[in-house]
RNA sequence: GGCCCCGUAGCCCAGCCAGGAUAGGGCGCCGGCCUCCUAAGCCGGUGGCCGGGGGUUCAAAUCCCCCCGGGGCCGCCA
């Protein structure tokens, strides 16, 4: 690969290696070559034909090249297995555990990856798990490659949702009482229930008022309101079953309040001003929610370097600074009563669109920064947060893993940053967007308290894994069995969630994930366990083979060796394009190549000691590459399963 | 209504940005392989007007235009 690109780069005088590298392809099977390159676009005319001769000649001189031919405009290369093997093992030996990463990185980038940032009012659900899996995998990929990564979780504690939650919790008493009431519950699950109850009870109170008023007039509106009320009541009845005591106390307290809706709105403003006791109540509520979330994130293997509270941006004055700058800006405008930025004009500049990666012909309406009641909006605070992330890290790239539905607000944030003089920040921000996760037959709504939590999905996957182990008669001791099942469950979910293009909606069919069907984490883990088993039985295994391909190269072994040698290149592409699914595809092929070889060319019963040593070294190399790529994807390698 | 994303076998997906060889996998279905390193495996078979139409090109799943279908966004929510 390097050889080919090197020669081509010189002969074709193409400076950009990446340009050539991406064109190198696997030839179709009927050709039988190891590498192919479409030369026709570079070699038109007579001068081109001479150039081709030169290229072929130079390539044929290399000990790595067995054969080089030009067929129908394609340059086809056959490699010399011994020489290739020598080079692969040399790279493995010099790079050690870092095999796959570049020996020297052109420039070490500082990268911020902000991901998950789930609203604390409810537990992490399967959609968020896609965010976590993508974000954490990107971070691991970049880190392994040699970049400096900073992982951040943005705690969204300002605004209506946490105000509802805190208001409800307050009606139940203080943190001590919350603990008592949530006995036997995971903290975030209990918080989610209180939030859903509070939200619906406040809704109900408001609805009752409006029904009173509409009763006199009667008619269509009245009937509509009553039917809304019926739906709310039946939803509340379902929630009551989960925790009758909490329900009863909460409903009494909320319905006693003369105007719960107004109270909640007041709390939003009080919290934003940082006034006690609201400030303390909200913070305790959020702490409790985060405690539960951290348990789930730990389970998924996601760790963070920083937890940034949205409220700190407000109290620390950064949001005020953004507003002050906005008022000086030529884009400043009043939208009805509210302060806003009119970004439409800026968004029309094609140069700005390109630099800020504004998609297609996206139309950009004015961005409201401050409500007429004086409170700020999420997007306003996000502008401040972007500035903070940059100021604290001076990052070259700020990756925000945020749902696709937020394409417009994300674009508005970048444009606003640009408009307010933070061009540098704006240009370094990347909205890494991903589509929703659907569950067949289940419609999620956090306000109704109906969400499919990651915890329950993982539990169900773990049960499935345990069942499978039992069916296969694996009789590990109890602790080990549970540990393996848990690692299979987490791996299966994470692997699945990053396996398809983030731009495509994903359907999480639990039965399907439980099937462990083809290119899944268990398939990869199984390959790793098989390789581990061979090495365990062999006792000592050489890291480097004494000789390369002593007894010729069967097709299956050659194919595996080539894939092992491709790891640096495949990982490089995944990192450059921030596409974890490339790694998934690669792992699937690698595991498959190993299984095929395994079935045709026994290792341990090989009698020729040189050949046996070589095979063991190859198993070791494969195991190392599998393990490395698995860890990047958050899939735990298993010695046995 | 405007805008964004997606559309490839019965089902799920890769390839598209940066056009090149006979469009690749997987699931499902049918049939094989455990006296031998873990059968969560392997082998064989089955299945495609690449959503439709037009254009650009020596060459189009890939680029451009129109249309159709699915999802999303257009809020003093996030």
pLDDT at position A632: 97
In chain A, what percentage of residues exceed pLDDT 70? Answer: 96
- Round to whole Å and give the CA distance between A112 and A393: 8
pLDDT at position A189: 95
pLDDT at position A210: 86
Q: Which residue is nearest to nucleotide B41 (CA to C1')?
A: A595
From the CA of A104, how many Å to the C1' of B14?
Answer: 31
pLDDT at position A220: 79
- Round to whole Å and give the CA distance between A175 and A181: 10
Q: Mean pLDDT lowest for which of A49-53, A445-449, A620-624?
A: A445-449
- Round to whole Å and give the CA distance between A515 and A468: 10
Confidence band (pLDDT; 50, 70, 90) for A604? very high
pLDDT at A476 over 90: no
How wide is the angle at C-alpha A318 spanned by C-alphas A313 and A319, nearest 5°?
80
Q: What residues does A110 pair with on adjacent strands?
A: A148
pLDDT at position A23: 85
From the CA of A566, how many Å to the C1' of B78?
Answer: 43
Q: Is A599 or A361 the better-scoring residue by pLDDT?
A: A599
Torsion sign over Cα A254, A258, A261, A264? negative
- Per residue in A539-573, pLDDT (tens digit) is 877 777 877 766 678 889 999 999 999 999 999 99
Confidence band (pLDDT; 50, 70, 90) for A44? low
Q: Which nt sits closest to A362, CA to C1'?
A: B3
pLDDT at A234 over 80: yes
Q: Which nt sits closest to A76, CA to C1'?
A: B21
Bases in strand B with any atom closer than 7 Å to a protein CB: 2-6, 12-15, 17-18, 20-22, 24-28, 36-43, 71-78
Among residues A392, A383, A395, the alpha carbon closest in space to that of A422 is found at A383
pLDDT at A440 over 80: no
How wide is the angle at C-alpha A603 spanned by C-alphas A597 and A604, nearest 5°?
150
pLDDT at position A216: 80
Residue A473 sits at φ, ψ, to 5 deg, of 70, 30
Q: Which nt sits closest to A601, CA to C1'?
A: B37
Q: Which nt sits closest to A160, CA to C1'?
A: B77
pLDDT at A8 over 90: no
CA distances from A496 to A207, A470, A602, A631 (A): 43, 23, 31, 15
CB–CB of A509/A618 below 8 Å? Answer: no
pLDDT at A450 over 80: no
pLDDT at position A516: 66
From the CA of A254, how many Å to the C1' of B39?
Answer: 61
Q: Is A77 or A44 the better-scoring residue by pLDDT?
A: A77
Q: Which nt sits closest to A335, CA to C1'?
A: B76
- The DSSP secondary structure of A179-197, one letter per residue, reads HHHTTTS-HHHHHHHHHHH
Q: What is the mean pLDDT of residues A421-447?
A: 85
Strand-pair category, A367-370 with A397-403:
unpaired
Is ipTM beyond 0.85? yes
- Per residue in A401-430, pLDDT (tens digit) is 999 999 999 999 999 999 999 999 999 999
Q: Which residue is nearest to nucleotide B71 (CA to C1')?
A: A505
- The DSSP secondary structure of A413-443, one letter per residue, reads HHHHHHHTT-HHHHHHEEEEEE--EEBTTB-
pLDDT at position A313: 95
From the CA of A26, how many Å to the C1' of B50?
Answer: 21
* Maximum pairwise Cα distance, chain A: 97
- Round to whole Å and give the CA distance between A413 and A427: 11
Residues 6+ away with beta carbon under 8 Å from A36: A24, A25, A26, A27, A74, A75, A76, A77
Q: What residues does A111 pair with on adjacent strands?
A: A149, A397
Per the prediction, chain A carries an average pLDDT of 90
From the CA of A432, how many Å to the C1' of B5?
Answer: 13
Confidence band (pLDDT; 50, 70, 90) for A13? low
Confidence band (pLDDT; 50, 70, 90) for A143? very high
Q: Which nt sits closest to A33, CA to C1'?
A: B21
pLDDT at position A521: 93
- Round to whole Å and give the CA distance between A149 and A259: 48
pLDDT at position A228: 87
pLDDT at position A1: 67
pLDDT at position A470: 86
- Per residue in A219-230, pLDDT (tens digit) is 778 888 888 899
CB–CB of A542/A616 below 8 Å? Answer: yes
């Amino acid at each position: 690969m390097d050889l080919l690109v090197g020669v081509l780069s010189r002969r074709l005088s193409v400076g950009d290696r990446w340009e050539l590298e991406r064109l190198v392809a696997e030839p179709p099977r009927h050709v039988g070559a190891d590498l192919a390159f479409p030369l026709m676009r570079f070699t038109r005319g007579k001068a081109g034909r001479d150039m081709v001769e030169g290229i072929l000649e130079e390539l044929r001189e290399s000990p790595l090249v067995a054969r080089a031919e030009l067929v129908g405009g394609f340059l086809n290369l056959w490699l010399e297995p011994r020489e290739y093997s020598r080079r692969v093992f040399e790279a493995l030996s010099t790079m050690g555990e870092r095999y796959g990463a570049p020996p020297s990185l052109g420039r070490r980038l500082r990268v911020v990856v902000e991901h998950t940032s789930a609203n604390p009012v409810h537990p992490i659900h399967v959609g968020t798990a896609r965010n976590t899996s993508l974000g954490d995998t990107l971070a691991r990929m970049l880190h392994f490659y040699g970049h400096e990564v900073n992982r951040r979780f943005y705690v969204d504690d300002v605004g209506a949702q946490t105000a509802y939650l805190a208001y409800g919790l307050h009606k139940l008493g203080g943190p001590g009482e919350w603990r008592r009431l949530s006995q036997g519950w995971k903290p975030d699950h209990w918080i989610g229930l209180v939030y859903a109850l509070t939200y619906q009870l406040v809704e109900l109170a408001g609805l009752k008022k409006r029904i009173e008023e509409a009763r006199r007039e009667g008619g269509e509106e009245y009937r509509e309101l009553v039917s809304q009320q019926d739906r709310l009541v039946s939803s509340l009845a379902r929630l009551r079953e989960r925790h009758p005591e909490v329900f009863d106390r909460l409903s009494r307290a909320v319905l006693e309040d003369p105007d719960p809706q107004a109270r909640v709105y007041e709390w939003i403003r009080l919290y934003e001003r940082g006034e006690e006791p609201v400030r303390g109540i909200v913070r305790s509520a959020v702490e409790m929610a985060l405690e539960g979330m951290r348990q789930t994130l730990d389970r998924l293997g996601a760790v963070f370097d920083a937890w940034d509270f949205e409220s700190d941006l407000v109290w620390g004055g950064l949001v005020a600074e953004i507003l002050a700058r906005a008022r000086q800006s030529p884009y400043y405008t009043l939208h009805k009563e509210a302060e806003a930025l009119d970004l439409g004009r800026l968004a029309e500049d094609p140069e700005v669109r390109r630099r800020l990666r504004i998609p297609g012909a996206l139309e950009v309406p004015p961005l409201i920064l401050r409500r007429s009641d004086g409170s700020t909006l999420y997007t306003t605070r996000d502008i401040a947060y972007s500035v903070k992330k940059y100021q604290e890290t001076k990052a070259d790239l700020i990756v925000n893993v945020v749902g696709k539905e937020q394409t417009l607000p994300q674009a508005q944030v970048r444009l606003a940053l640009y408009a307010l003089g933070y061009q540098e920040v704006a240009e370094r921000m990347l909205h890494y967007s991903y589509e929703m996760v659907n569950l067949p037959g289940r419609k999620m709504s956090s306000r109704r308290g109906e969400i499919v939590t990651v915890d329950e999905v993982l539990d169900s996957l773990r049960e499935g894994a345990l069942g499978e182990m039992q069916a296969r008669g694996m009789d590990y001791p109890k602790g080990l069995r549970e540990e393996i099942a848990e690692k299979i469950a987490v791996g299966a979910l994470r692997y699945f969630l990053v396996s398809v293009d983030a731009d495509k909606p994903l359907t999480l069919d639990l039965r399907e994930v439980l099937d462990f069907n083809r290119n899944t984490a268990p398939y990869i883990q199984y390959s790793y366990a098989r390789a581990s088993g061979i090495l365990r039985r062999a006792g000592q295994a050489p890291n480097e083979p004494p000789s390369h391909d002593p007894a010729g190269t069967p097709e299956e072994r050659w194919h595996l060796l080539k894939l092992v040698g491709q790891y640096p290149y495949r990982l490089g592409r995944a990192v450059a394009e921030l596409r974890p699914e490339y790694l998934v595809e690669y792992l699937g092929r690698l595991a498959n190549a190993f299984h095929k070889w395994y079935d045709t060319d026994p290792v341990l019963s090989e009698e020729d000691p040189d050949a046996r040593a070589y095979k063991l070294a190859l198993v070791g190399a494969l195991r190392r590459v599998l393990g490395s790529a698995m860890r990047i994807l958050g899939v735990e390698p298993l010695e046995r399963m």
